[in-house]
A and B are shown apart, each in its own frame.
Chain A
């Protein structure tokens, strides 16, 4: 699956880590980078230069054009959950190198160092505007948010945990697809997570899929698109096959806006496009409307 192609076509940002993300997992503190003061970021959309701290305060939205910058997994958790309520789960699940794939262990180490996360997803439970909920959030900077055994296992464990505890589930996706370095096992995570969602649905529980920029390939074709509600952020790239691969195959220029959030809404995939500023409010409203009646919590 064309992981890199997709990311290449996106605007280039200066990559810096967001400051002030409270350490919730034991693993994240070790290699955490301090952010030097005075760093600026340039908006990929309107070119505006923005002081990083101002951007962080503004939910990583461009103050001028409302462009949605990518958000790290920790930052996303703190944007969505009630302060201090998130309890991270299944941190014991750690990456291995089942195929002895060239350079893979080094690649994982580097990703861990750069992202200050142990893998491309964090999962746990907490409350959102007081509503108990299970939450999984992917991290785009960790080998492009690709799904290998650990991502698949943690997502599946989260789904099973929510089913056992009768909790609604929110998964925030951002991914280039399956992780090639774990070969066929990565492909199998699509079946595993989708099967778990099948049971979760049969149990009558709510799953909200929030697809963010970019959500593609193996994650798009599994838990990404299987929400009772599929929601996305404005301007996000969402699709199965990477644009470069399509272009190489059909030898035509792609229509403008192809695979954008707006395109996907027009083509019936997503229920709504929600501005990040309204996200918590909308999610709370959805959760409230799915509260069990008659006190069976």
Chain B
């Protein structure tokens, strides 16, 4: 449960949950049967969670996607895969701790898995640059994907990034080129690629590992061309209008499905992924396994052709 960090709109729920826990502890201490009191409260808590989550506005969704307690890449990898063997470095400049990747078993099948690691405490967050890769991170990702292609393993990309990193060195080492190259080369990779956006799917940074045969979005994750703050400060010169921008950018699940940008939504436990990381991981695993079973039917040539078509049709325009 979410102890520690609490979002405003989570408060009533967290307070109720606290009460239930206290009551349980009290009952255990006194060896009393208080289930008559506890059960209605638990029902009320579930109702409240459903109520809160069903009324989330786009900005609150972003808050959940960025929740400090949201399961990270390592958390999820540990629960979805077995024997994760991390591989490091882009072979040119350095190892970027913001984007991790390596080999793992997925139910008896060797796969390549990679994704941004935001970090759980302050120290790790700084080490990992809050999960914002430098160019060598994207290049490491591409290296691991090409390695996967060589050994005919599928690739699972987990995406959780606010956006590409706005820094001098990231520019000097050409993050634009690194992203462009990933877009081009991922589109031609002859093995299945399944993309799961687990938290933030922010702009070019997200897309740099986002060119998949299937792209899924966790229920409260978001996928956007720009952060709501960035959009608001550019269009209305006021980052404070981010909630307004979040609405205008239309990154809700229905619109992303309608526009063909994602292939499906992955359910989160009541209250959000941080309320039950294990269940979240199980839900992701189920979808990934189903997707891989579907993609296994394609030859490498068909796979690349279908992937091209998938992205080729994205866009809305008139032909007058």
A: residues with CB less than 8 A from B are: 1-5, 92-96, 98-99, 101-102, 148-150, 152-153, 156, 178, 180, 182-192, 194-199, 201-202, 217-218, 220-226, 239-242, 245-246, 248-250, 252, 254-255, 258-259, 267-269
The answer to the question of B269 belonging to the interface, with a C-beta cut-off of 8 Å to chain A, is no
Please give the distance in Å from A219's CB to the nearest CB on chain B.
9
Partner of A250, one of B166, B226, B317: B166
Please give me the residue from chain A that is nearest to B244 by CB atom: A102
Complex CA distance for A198 and B211, rounded to whole angstroms: 13
* Residues A96 and B210 in contact, CB atoms below 8 Å apart: no
> In the complex, which residue of chain A has the Cβ closest to the Cβ of B132?
A249
Given contact pairs A190-B207, A240-B175, A184 touches B168 in the complex (Cβ within 8 A) = no
CB contact under 8 A between A99 and B250, given known A221-B180, A221-B204, A249-B167: yes
Query: Which residue of B164, B184, B187 contacts A241 across the interface (Cβ within 8 Å)?
Result: B164
Q: Which residues on A sit within 8 Å (CB–CB) of B248?
A: 99, 101-102, 183
Count class of interface residues, chain B: 35 or more
Question: Which residues of chain B have C-beta atoms less than 8 A from A196's C-beta?
Answer: 312
| B147 CB within 8 Å of chain A | no
Distance in angstroms from A271 CB to nearest chain B CB is 13
**Chain B positions near chain A (C-beta within 8 angstroms):** 164-168, 170-177, 179-181, 183-185, 187-188, 203-204, 207, 210-211, 223-226, 230-231, 234-235, 248-251, 255-256, 259, 261, 307-308, 311-312, 314-320
Residues of A within 8 A of B249 (CB): 99, 180, 183-184
Q: Does the CB pair B311–A195 fall under 8 Å? A: yes
List of A residues within 8 angstroms of B234 by Cβ: 2-5, 180
Assuming the contacts A222-B183, A245-B166, asked whether A152 and B315 have C-beta atoms less than 8 A apart, the reply is: yes
- Least Cβ distance of A263 to chain B in Å? 8
Q: Which of B175, B231, B235 contacts A221, CB < 8 Å?
A: B175
Q: How far is the CA of A262 from the CA of B303 in the complex (A)?
A: 41
Task: Answer whether A192 and B188 are a contact pair too, CB < 8 Å, given A186-B225, A241-B171.
Answer: no
Residue pair B225, A180 in contact (C-beta under 8 Å): yes
Q: How far is the CB of A87 from chain B (nearest CB, A)?
A: 19
For B181, what are the chain A residues with a Cβ–Cβ distance below 8 Å? 226
Chain A residues lying within 8 Å of B175, measured Cβ to Cβ, are 221, 240-241
Would A194 and B183 be within 8 Å (CB), given that A241-B171, A250-B166 are in contact?
Answer: yes
The chain A residue sitting closest to B314, CB to CB, is: A188
Q: Which residues of B contact A246 (CB under 8 A)?
A: 166-168, 171
A221:B166 contact, CB within 8 angstroms: no
Could you tell me the distance between the alpha carbons of A242 and B185 in the complex, rounded to whole angstroms?
25
Q: Pick the contact of B317 from A93, A180, A198, A217 — CB < 8 Å?
A: A93
B241: shortest Cβ distance to chain A, in Å? 11
The verdict on A188 contacting B311 (CB below 8 Å), with A180-B234, A222-B183 known, is yes
Whether B204 lies near A185 (C-beta < 8 A) is: no
Q: A184-B261, A187-B204, A194-B184 are in contact. List 14 more A-B contacts (CB 8 A).
A: A1-B203, A93-B318, A94-B318, A96-B317, A180-B249, A190-B207, A191-B311, A195-B188, A221-B180, A226-B180, A246-B171, A254-B168, A258-B168, A268-B174
